[in-house]
Amino acid sequence: MKRLVVLLVAFVLVGSSACIRSESWLVAGGGKPITEKTLPPCPLGALKEAKGTVDVEVWEAFVGKAKEYLNQLADQFNKSQSKVHVDIRSQGDNYDELLHKFQAGLASRQLPAIALIEDQNLRVMVDTGAVLPAESCQRADKSDFPVLPAVRNYYTLDDVYWPGYVNVSEPVLYFNVNHFRRAGLDPTKPPKTLDQIEQVAKKLKAAGVSKKAPLALKLDEWFVESWINGAGQTVVNKNNGRDGIATKATFDNPVTHKVYAWIKRMLSEGLAQAIPDTPGNIDQYLALAQQNSSMTIETSTAATTIKAFLSGDSSGVDVGSSGDLSGLVPSAGPFPGVEEPGKVRISGSAFYMTNTVPPAVQAGAWQFMKYMQSLNGQVGWHLVGSYLPTTQAAASDPRVTKFWDTDLAGKMLKTAYQQLLQVDPDKPGPSIGPYPQYVDAIHKSLESMAFDGKSPDAAIAQAQTDIQAALTQYIEDNKK
């Protein structure tokens, strides 16, 4: 979830076609739903029989350090053996562009061997019929990659684990230690709940340390969804879409009302400033850099970028004449929940192997996925790309523990990893077919409340109606 941010990108899926299953018939030949009992074969033997080098094309949409590291991994893999050559192809700088290109290539089968897709689109990818489940290759290879239970459960549908590799990130609370101290607050005890954020914001405002509002609040559905999921509620039926394609919206629930009422109150009392969640908008970061705000909620992957930013690497971002970085001492706390901290869902992105390429290429794709899953690969994704370890082996590696103990970015990322361990494996997050439309509905409801004066009840009711319409349309469009 979910987010790859290098101080300049926010990924929002909007306007994507909901019609997937009709195209999947062309790809999978009218294929039947894949379950644990109907797993397709993983053609590992085809690689040995292939003549010459097998080319594996990977579509990605990373920016910054993550993009650099993926290319570095591919180079290392290519040099480590001579049978498979991995070619990394950028499909833009956001997941939206990549997903659209993937959907456009379904009918013609013009797809890569591997595609990087945002976490929420698991259901969409499964419904394309174009994905070779990692579960098939793991069994064929007799290999086991013990990812954390919550991570595995999130990417499992019908008892089948789908992606070849996953990158996990989580939302955390970033705050200015200097501002906390000036307001008489203990920076070692950041707010843990929404109510505590409100209390802290009032003290920060009273102390006059924030030029505008204490909290720079990006209107991101990711946070709203995490608050709802973390408090044990759902946004759609069928166990949040985990037990089949969701048919009913459950967004209008008591937890959602509590969250929206809190947002409205924070904005009305000048305790928070609303930041639109639009691609390229970095106002939440600038608010801290310019001392306009003291706190913001953002992705854990921002940790290494914040560190670089403070050291003078602004990545092309102009903070303006008011950007006095000497007064900014960042730290991170767990994502403040409705009732307790660290209650998030599984977020990030996943690498999916396709079944539309020749068998030898599928086998080659699996070899690269295994290379990424190696201990060195996982550690690199964390140290360089800021993605969280998904295995105990990676989290226990001396390189990681030293990073957590001695590095500014590492200390903030350790906070995110600790809350990842708290995700309930039985409630890892929703699985929704028309996710782009669902996201758009929540964004519109938040902005109508923040900028158009709509009441929380009215905003929630509209989102509920829009989400229900999207679910109904998705089912209609994708009837067999």
Asked whether residue 134 is domain-assigned, the answer is yes
Task: For residues 29 and 72, state if they share a domain.
Answer: yes
Task: For residues 119 and 30, state if they share a domain.
Answer: yes
Q: What is the DSSP letter of 362?
A: H
* CATH number for position 106: 3.40.190.10
pLDDT of residue 323: 52
Phi, psi values for residue 382, rounded to 5°: -80, -50
pLDDT of residue 325: 63
pLDDT of residue 480: 57
Alpha helices, H only, 269-397: 283-289, 303-310, 359-373, 375-383, 392-396
List, for residues 400-455, the tens digit of each pLDDT value: 999 999 999 999 999 999 999 999 999 899 999 898 899 999 999 999 999 999 99
Asked whether residue 14 is domain-assigned, the answer is no
Task: For residues 180 and 228, state if they share a domain.
Answer: yes
Query: In the structure encoding, which two tokens stand for residue 129, read together?
Result: 């019929």
pLDDT of residue 40: 94
Task: Check: pTM over 0.85? Answer yes or no.
Answer: yes
Asked whether residue 419 is domain-assigned, the answer is no
Q: What is the DSSP string of 253-271?
A: SHHHHHHHHHHHHHHHTTS
Asked whether residue 230 is domain-assigned, the answer is yes
pLDDT of residue 155: 96
Query: In the structure encoding, which two tokens stand for residue 146, read together?
Result: 């013990």
Task: For residues 200 and 328, state if they share a domain.
Answer: yes
Domain range for residue 224?
Answer: 171-344+428-477
Query: In the structure encoding, which two tokens stand for residue 378, read together?
Result: 């996982």
Domain boundary among 406, 437, 452: 406
CB 118 within 8 A of CB 12: no
pLDDT of residue 307: 78
pLDDT of residue 29: 36
Distance CA 27, CA 128 (A): 8
- What is the bridge-based pairing of β-strands 295-299 and 272-275? unpaired
* 236-11-366-130 Cα dihedral, nearest 10 degrees: 60
Asked whether residue 9 is domain-assigned, the answer is no
pLDDT of residue 315: 47
pLDDT of residue 82: 95
Give pLDDT < 70 ranges for the chain: 1-32, 309-326, 480
pLDDT of residue 326: 65
- What is the bridge-based pairing of β-strands 272-275 and 54-60? unpaired
- What is the bridge-based pairing of β-strands 131-132 and 165-169? unpaired
Task: For residues 335 and 312, state if they share a domain.
Answer: yes
Task: For residues 163 and 190, state if they share a domain.
Answer: no
Asked whether residue 414 is domain-assigned, the answer is no
Picking from 200, 196, 194, 199, the residue whose alpha carbon sits closest to that of residue 177 is 200
- Provide the β-strand partners of residue 161: 156
Task: For residues 336 and 458, state if they share a domain.
Answer: yes
SS3 214: coil
Phi, psi values for residue 236, rounded to 5°: -140, 165
**3-class SS shares of the chain: helix, strand, coil, % to 5:** 50, 15, 40
Task: For residues 326 and 228, state if they share a domain.
Answer: yes
Task: For residues 115 and 146, state if they share a domain.
Answer: yes
Query: In the structure encoding, which two tokens stand for residue 112, read together?
Result: 């890569």
Picking from 386, 297, 292, the residue whose alpha carbon sits closest to that of residue 336 is 297
Give 395: exposed, middle or buried? Use CB within 10 Å, 0-12, 13-18, 19+: buried
Asked whether residue 412 is domain-assigned, the answer is no
CB 62 within 8 A of CB 115: no
Task: For residues 327 and 402, state if they share a domain.
Answer: no
Instruction: Give me the number of domains the chain comprises.
Output: 2
- What is the bridge-based pairing of β-strands 165-169 and 347-354? antiparallel
Task: For residues 379 and 467, state if they share a domain.
Answer: no
Q: State the greatest distance between any 2 C-alpha atoms of the chain, in Å, as a whole number.
A: 72
Task: For residues 333 and 457, state if they share a domain.
Answer: yes
